[in-house]
Structures are given as structure tokens and as C-alpha cells.
Amino acid sequence: MSTTTGSAVADGLVPPAPTAGVRGEVTQLRVLHSEWIKMRSLRSTFFTLIAAVVALVGLGALFSAFTAGHWDHMSVRERASFEPGLTSLRGYFLAQLAVGVLGVLMVSGEYATGTIRASLTAVPRRLPVLWAKATLYVAVTWALMTAGAFAAFLVGQALLSSQHVETSLGAPGELRQVMGLGLYLTVVGLLGVAIGALIRNTAGGIATVFGLLLVVPVLAEALPASWGDRIDQWLPSNAGQSVLALHREAHTLAPWTGFAVFCLYAVVTLAAAAVLLRRRDV
């Protein structure tokens, strides 16, 4: 710097050049923006989320149309146990798998390609990367799945109205059921991210998600009734799906109690993943 320029800086006429440290400061907001760029630049992410919404709305419409078409042939017992709201939301069974698998891939995909090294080199503290992935995926999943749940409900009830067996969002428990489905699928996504970060392997992470959501509840049904009734309600998916029930049955958790238990599973898994992320090599 010349003497003239130095004097100008000293006199406050010319602002000093920013240092490299200020330009390169790592903040949670910048990490979140970086993860957003990654997420929206992958077409597989977009297609998987769209597939989850299509499954949620499409299968709900299919179940509703089938029920309306066979209503006249249904038995008295089947009609008595019929829940129009839940029928239109049946697509969540498949949608949860797409959401959970994508959650795993949000983390394990970078380990598979090796790009996680670049991410953690840019963010040496590591944990901001995990928080950014989890926060971003939770926000996107909640927005899409909640919108999908409302769409599935409205389409399903329109189809059921041909038999005059539809319900409305104003009916007791229906709004909670629809909003609860969006929340349930959001926590499924968070659990997927946590499992992906914990296991760091795509195949292992997906197998774990499938096991928790599908296999473990089936295995619990094979237990003696005295054991099954106590254990079944505390399983992750069963606890989370309590928020979808309009009527509490025996040996099941209350809607929001069950959902809180499901959230606890996801938070504990994410905390374990965070501890291991700090301790393990890349």
C-alpha cells in the first residue's frame, strides 16, 4: 500500500479491505444455504418427494373410490368401523417409506460419493452440517406432506360423497388427523436423516428405516398378548401413528402422547448421530 493510500485509510476516506477471515466465516445460515443448493440441485430429491405426495394423494383417492364403489356390498360391521378421514389418508403407508429413504440419502449419499469430506472440511465443527441437513429436510417435508395430506383428504371426501359417507375438516378430530399426518411424516424424515448420519451406509440405513416402520410392528404381533399389548404401543411407528386415530383403543397411547414418544425416538437418534459425527473419522 502506498503512503497516499495508507493516509487515506487512516483518515477514513477509503474503507479498509475486508480480511479473508471475515469473508470466509462459517455460520449456520451459510451452511443451511449450502445444503439448500445441494438439495435442490439433485433431481432425485425432487422426484422422490413428488413420488411421496403422489402416493399419499393417489392411494388415498384409490381407497376412497374403491370404498364408495363397494359401499352397498359392505357388511354392517365394516360400515360401523369405517373412518372416512383415515380412508382418504391411507397413502401415508407408502409415502412414509419414500420420505424415510430420502432422509437416509440426505446424509449417506455424501458418504457414498465421498463429498462429505469436502463438506466437513469447509465446516470443521461438523455439527452445523448435520443441523442444516435435518432442519432443511424437516421444513421441506412438513410443507409438502401437510399440503399432500390436505389434498388427499379433500379428494378422498369428494369421492366418498357419492355415497354420502364423507366427513369434513370441521368434524371432531379430523383436522388433528390431517395435520398430524403431516407431522408424522415429517418426523419419519427426521428419523431417516438421523439414521443415515448414525449408520453412514445407504443400504444399512434404508434397511433400518424399513425395519423400524414395517418389520418390528409385525414381529411384535407374534408376541404373547400379555407382552404384545405392553410393547406394541411403544414401538416408533405405532406410537407416531397414534396421532391419526380418532378413537383411542385399548393398549394404545393417546394421540399427542404417542406422537411425543415418536419425536423422542427421532431426537435421541439424532443426538447419538451428532456425538458419533464429532468422534469418528470421515
Confidence at 83, pLDDT banded by 50, 70, 90: very high
Q: What is the DSSP letter of 124?
A: T
**Nine-digit cell at 236?**
416408533
Say what the pLDDT of residue 87 is.
94
Q: Are 82 and 167 in contact (CB under 8 A)?
A: no
**Nine-digit cell at 100?**
424415510
How does pLDDT run across 231-253, given as a tens digit for each residue? 889 999 999 999 999 888 878 89
Say what the pLDDT of residue 81 is.
86
Is residue 2 predicted with pLDDT exceeding 80? no
How does pLDDT run across 10-60, given as a tens digit for each residue? 444 444 444 444 456 888 899 999 889 888 888 888 899 999 999 999 999
Question: Chain-wide mean pLDDT for the chain?
Answer: 88
Q: % helix / strand / coil in the chain, to the nearest 5?
A: 80, 0, 20
